[in-house]
Every structure is written in C-alpha cells, then in structure tokens.
Amino acid sequence: MKFIQGHSPRSALRFVAAGCAVFWLCAIVPASPALARDAAGSAPVTALSWLAQGSGSVPAGSTGSGEPRGAGGAPENAAANGPQTQAYSLPPERAAQAIAYARARHQLYFLDLAYSVLVLLMLLRWRVAPAFRDWAERALRSRLGQAAIFAPALLLTLGVLGLPGDVASQWLARRFAQSIQGWGSWFWDWSKGELAGAFFGALLVWLFYAVVRRSPRGWWFYAWLGAVPIIVLVVFVSPLVIEPMFFRFRPLAESDPELAAQLERVVARAGQNIPENRMFEMNASTKLNELNAYVTGLGASRRVVVWDTTIARMTTPEILFVFGHEMGHYVLGHIRDGIIFAAAMLLAALFAGQRALRWTLGRYGEGWGVRGAGDWASLPVLLLLFLLFSFVFTPFDNAYSRHLEHEADQYGLEVVHGIIPDTPAVAAQSFQILGEVDLEEPAPSWAVKIWFYTHPSINDRIIFARTYDPWSGGKSPRFVK
C-alpha cells in the first residue's frame, strides 16, 4: 500500500506470466525496478501491486512549500509561508505534459492487453505449449522434473514476447523524465524478475497441476486453499527477499536520525508501537525521480519505507503527513484486508476458470494439442482466461483500492493533527507536490478514474484535506481519538 499510485503501463503478458507464480491474481515477483509503488498517476493493477517506472522530475522551484529538507532543512510550517493550495493545478506546459503522458500510458495499456491476448492465441494455435510438454515428458518421467523444464520454458517465452510492452513502458518513463534508469540497469532488473518468476513459477505450476490431476472437478477449490497461504508467504518475504533485489534499504534511524525522531512523535500520537527498526529509507534516486512512501510486509516483516527522493524534496511537516498516511495502512490492517480481498478475487476466478477451461478445451483443446485440464499444455489457456478475468475485474479492484487509500488519507490527517501547524494546508501542499513531480493528470474523466485509478485523484485528495475538520464541530475523529 503506497501513498501514490503507480502510473506506468505494464506488459499485460508479463503480468499474467508472473502472476501464475501465485495463481495468476497476485503478481508479486517483479520484473522491473520500481516494485511496490503507489503513485499519483494511474494504472490498472492488483491490490498487491508494484510497477516499474519512475516519476516526473520537478522543475526548479516547483516543489512549492518552503525549502526541501535536502536543501538544508525546511521550516516547520512551510505551507503557511507560501501560497495556500486549494485545488490541484499545473502550469500550462506541465499540464500538457501530464495529459500527454497519461494518454500514452492508457493507450499502451490497451495495446499491450490486445497484444497479450494475440500472443497467447498464437502460442495455442502453433502448439508451442504441447511442444514444451513433449520435450519435458521425453526428458524426465518425474512430474517435478517435467515442471522444472516446462514451466520456465513457457514463462520465459511469454516474458520475452512481452518485452516490447515493457520496453515501451520504460521508454515512455524516460521520455517524460519519469525514470533516470539506464537501459543496461533496466534490462538487468527485468532479467532478474523474469528469472525469479520462472524459478518460483516452476514450483507453483507443479503444485497446481498436482491438484488438478488429483481432483479434476474440485481442483478450483483445493487450488484456492493452497494459494491463500502462498499469497501470505509471498507478502511476508517480499520486503526481505524480493524488494532488495532491486533497491537498497537502510534503517531510517541511520540515514536520517532527526527525521526518525520526528516520525516517532507521530507514532506516539497514535498510541502505536512502530519500532525504528521497521522504518526504512529506500535509495529510489538511483533509478527514479518519483516521490513516494509505502507500507509492505506482514507480521515480523511489516515495515514503513520512505523513498530518499521524498526526503530530499519535501519539508519535514509534509513528510510527517505522508508518513501518517502510510501509518494508516499499517495500523488499519490494509495489507491484511488486501490479502483477504485478493483471496476472494482468486476464489471467484478459479471457480469461473474451472468451468471456462472445461468448455474451452472441449471446443478447441484437440486443435490446440491439449489433452485435458491436467495437461501441462493447458497452462496458456488458463493464462488467457485469467488475463480476461483480471481485465474485467479491474474497476472493482481499483474501487476497493481507492477506498483503502481514502481511509489512509483520513487517518493521516487525524494522526498529525496537533503535531504540525495547519494540517490541511500541509496535506494539500503535499498532494500538490506529488502531482507535479509524478505528472498527475489535472482533470481525469470519470471513466479514467474508474478504470485506471487505484487512488482518489490528486484534486479529490486536496479537496478532502482542505475540508475534513471534525474538530471544529466538536466531533470525534474516526480513527485517532
């Protein structure tokens, strides 16, 4: 769960291929550098998502409220020293860039989706999966050994075929000054993601087809039962194993003890206990210009991460509000809720997928060279079905995500109330800065919000920050009493 939503298009083909590693709906293994981000722009993604691009660079002086901490320590009430942000706006040239970037991303998303469907259909028509299956069966009799040959071969093939979409996404990010990552570094990150997906995908494909072969009619339910603990496990290990593959993390108390002490004030205000060893700074600036922070992990691995770009460009009060938002995710159990929501999505997908697979194979299976649901070669059919399901379910997924993000905004306003002066102004200016840096579209249509936005729009968040004030009416705040 992040402060801002990812806004770069991702190759739908690679998304589904990696998603198979957690039964298609919880794509966790990243194949790109900016995993687990949550940006001010827009992209249709799952609730447990990350994405691979940076943010827009900020023109000199455009950060607005006071002097950034990275430039020598901001005044505590920076928002009060400059113009008060009432609504989200951009200079004409910057607004034109934001609109162009948003349209390009949205077009690429739909093109990538169509391309992904076409690729899967072509692989089925050309019987690529049956060829990999025959190769695996000739090489080894062990089902685990066959999975170790078949799954990586198919998943890496899908990854390579999805590379054009990934390259186009990174090219857009560089074109609009969102990413500073060189192509060599980007390709190495992409390769690490693909190899990790192929390795873990082989294990999970083996488990999945063991369930399908053992229970041809009830596999959808048993696969779901097995997938839920896998989802929990992947969320748990992600900050410990996966995220460090792409970025370096260090305790915030080491890199910025003064800021860590200020954040502890927010923690104390909420009556919570977030130890300093669960607060980290991420070196996003090596690859990205974007500002962000997020909560990740589960249980003993749960932590709050602040990007070094955010620390460098925001004032201390603004960072405290951003932290308050992330602490909202932490305290309100939004990662837990996201897992429950993803599990419910997965159950519905597997139930529908079992019936759709039976009908599809009955009609086309012989022509595609697929023997049945328990055949390794049925994997592309399942990937196609779940890709279509994910596409249809995107608006519902985004709506739930927007709900959680709104709650986190509300919690952030409540938890820093009384700690920083003029909380509404500071929060509004924080959103304004994020929108400027991340090239947030000034006035997205309702259709764009429904289909692409995992967060409320920047303007909606600014208006809420300026108008939410239960204290003046003598009412009790919802979360922080």
Find the angle CA(276)-CA(277)-CA(281) to the nearest 5 degrees.
Answer: 85
Per-residue model confidence (pLDDT) at position 295: 86
The 10 Å Cβ neighbour count of residue 441 is: 29
Lowest mean pLDDT among 1-5, 72-76, 292-296, 456-460: 72-76
Q: In the 8-state DSSP scheme, what is residue 481? A: -
Question: Predicted confidence band at 387 (pLDDT cuts at 50, 70, 90)?
Answer: very high
Per-residue model confidence (pLDDT) at position 5: 55
Per-residue model confidence (pLDDT) at position 275: 87
- From CA 112, how far away is CA 115, in angstroms rounded? 5
Please tell me which residue, 40 or 182, carries the higher pLDDT value.
182
- When the pLDDT of each residue in the chain is averaged and rounded to a whole number, the result is 85
Per-residue model confidence (pLDDT) at position 99: 97
Per-residue model confidence (pLDDT) at position 84: 77
Highest mean pLDDT among 8-12, 83-87, 283-287: 283-287
pLDDT(331) > 50: yes
Rg of the chain over CA atoms, in angstroms?
23
Question: Predicted confidence band at 271 (pLDDT cuts at 50, 70, 90)?
Answer: confident
Strand-pair category, 293-296 with 303-307: antiparallel
Question: Predicted confidence band at 27 (pLDDT cuts at 50, 70, 90)?
Answer: very low
Per-residue model confidence (pLDDT) at position 26: 36
Per-residue model confidence (pLDDT) at position 19: 41
- From CA 318, how far away is CA 79, in angstroms rounded? 9
Question: Predicted confidence band at 52 (pLDDT cuts at 50, 70, 90)?
Answer: very low
> Within its chain, how far is the Cα of 253 from the centroid?
26
Per-residue model confidence (pLDDT) at position 83: 61
The tens digit of pLDDT for each residue in 400-417 reads 999 999 999 999 999 999
Strand-pair category, 279-282 with 249-251: antiparallel
Please tell me which residue, 67 or 147, carries the higher pLDDT value.
147
C-beta separation of 461 from 410 below 8 A: no
pLDDT(29) > 50: no
Nearest to 275 by CA among 330, 230, 315: 330
Residue 50, classed as helix, strand or coil, is: coil
Long-range Cβ pairs for the range 219-223 (8 Å, 24+): 219/354, 219/373, 220/350, 220/351, 220/353, 220/354, 221/347, 221/350, 221/351, 223/23, 223/350
Burial of 340 (0-12, 13-18, 19+ CB in 10 A): middle
SS (H, E, C) 366-399: HHHCCCCCCCHHHHHHHHHHHHHHHHHHHHHHHH
Per-residue model confidence (pLDDT) at position 68: 52
Beta bridge partners of 306: 281, 293
Residue 129, classed as helix, strand or coil, is: helix
User: What's the predicted TM-score (pTM) here?
Assistant: 0.85
pLDDT(257) > 90: yes
Question: Predicted confidence band at 53 (pLDDT cuts at 50, 70, 90)?
Answer: very low
Q: In the 8-state DSSP scheme, what is residue 288? A: B
CA distances from 164 to 161, 335, 370 (A): 7, 32, 28
C-beta separation of 301 from 236 below 8 A: yes
Mean pLDDT for the stretch of residues 235-261: 95
The tens digit of pLDDT for each residue in 419-476 reads 999 999 999 999 999 999 999 999 999 999 999 999 999 999 999 999 999 999 889 9
- From CA 439, how far away is CA 435, in angstroms rounded? 6
